[in-house]
Each structure stands twice: as C-alpha cells, then as structure tokens.
Amino acid sequence: MNMYGSTGITAITMLSGIILSGAASSVLLQNTDDLSSNATQMLNDVIDEITTYLKLDDIIGKYYIENGTRCVERLVILVKQPIKTTLNISTITIKISNKEDVLLLGYSGYAQKYDANGVFENSVWNMTYYSFSLIILNDNDNSIQEHHIMNGDTVFVVIRLPIQFQLGNDDTLTLSILPEKGIMRSIVLETPSIHLSDIINFRDE
C-alpha cells in the first residue's frame, strides 16, 4: 500500500470518528433537551396542582321532606384557596355519583354574598338547578361576581341535589371537584341510619 493509500485510509478513519462523535454529541444533546423539557413539564404540572388547589373545610347538608321522604337535598361546601392565585370558576366541574348514576355539574354563573337569610335560604338557591352556584364569604375586589374569578377568596359552593342523588338514611354519595388543571378532590358523604337534626355536618360523621 502506498503512502497515499495509507493516508486515505487514515483520513477515512478520522472522518468516521468525527462523524460518530458528532452523532453521539447530537444524541446526547437531544437527550439533554428531552430531559430539560420533561423537567419543565413536571415543574409546570406541580405548579398547576399547587395553584389550583382548593381546600375543602366543611361540607354541610340540610334535610328536606320530598314526596313524604326525608332526604338531604341541599349541600354547601366551604372552599378556600390556600395560595392566592387566579382561578376561573367556569373551568371547574363537580361530579356527583352514587351506586346508580353519575352527574356532572358546571358553574351556573350565579354568586351572591352571604346575608342575614343564612346559607340555606340565600336567594342563590333559586338559580341553582343541575349546576353549582356560590355564596361569597370573602371577596374584597368583587372578582367573583364581576369576572367569575377566584383569587384567594372564600366561598360556599352550593349544590341542590337532583332527586335521584338525594341522601336518605344509611346512604352514600361521592362528590369530586375537577379543576381544568391540577388536583382532583373527592369526598365520600355518608348519612347515618338515624339523624334527628335538619342539618348534618359530614365532617363530623
């Protein structure tokens, strides 16, 4: 083999090494970019979960007599935002389910401030059918009524249960709050076999 042939083989070997090295670097950079992208997505998901988190402090129901049967017909849920952030109420869905059916409730668009009539006789109930509404306890900038936005506010979520979901004695109902992003909150409500008061606090049961 002459000098030129040897040189050519050496050059090809060096070029192949450079190409392979470049390819490896490209894969490494691509993997690094993928890892960075995945980390960013995970961080965004965590932020979404934290900032859309709703704290459910109390769940209270009231019994009414419907067709001769005493059942829990109205529910109020005390909801707070542990972290002050902007949350569009219209993006929230509430799911209620029992052993027979499932129902999804959207925001009615109605919100009234708490008044002397109390929680279960507030006028907002007149606009709450197959949806959920709000009774406002704290909203300094009126963002809920004007823009359907919560930003660190405190409210009662009010739900009028359709007849097939009303709670009799020894009954159960699963209630889930589904934000557009972030953490889903689910609670199982259970009624006792005997409950004499018209008001029932499900946190105490």
152 phi-psi bin (left φ>0, alpha ψ -120 to 50, beta other): left
- Over 80: is that where the pLDDT of 166 sits? yes
Question: Ranked by mean pLDDT, which of 30-44, 145-159, 174-188 comes out on top?
Answer: 145-159
**What are the angstrom distances between the C-alpha of 106 and each of 22, 39, 101, 157?**
55, 33, 17, 12
Q: Which residue has the higher pLDDT, 54 or 74?
A: 74
| Domain extent listing, the chain | 1-51, 54-201
The pLDDT value recorded for residue 172 is 96
Where does the chain have alpha helices with state H? 3-51, 143-147
Residue 75 confidence (pLDDT): 97
Query: What is the arithmetic mean of pLDDT over 75-96?
Result: 92
Give percent above pLDDT 90 in the chain: 61
CATH topology for 54-201? Answer: Immunoglobulin-like (2.60.40)
Asked if pLDDT for residue 51 goes beyond 70, the answer is no
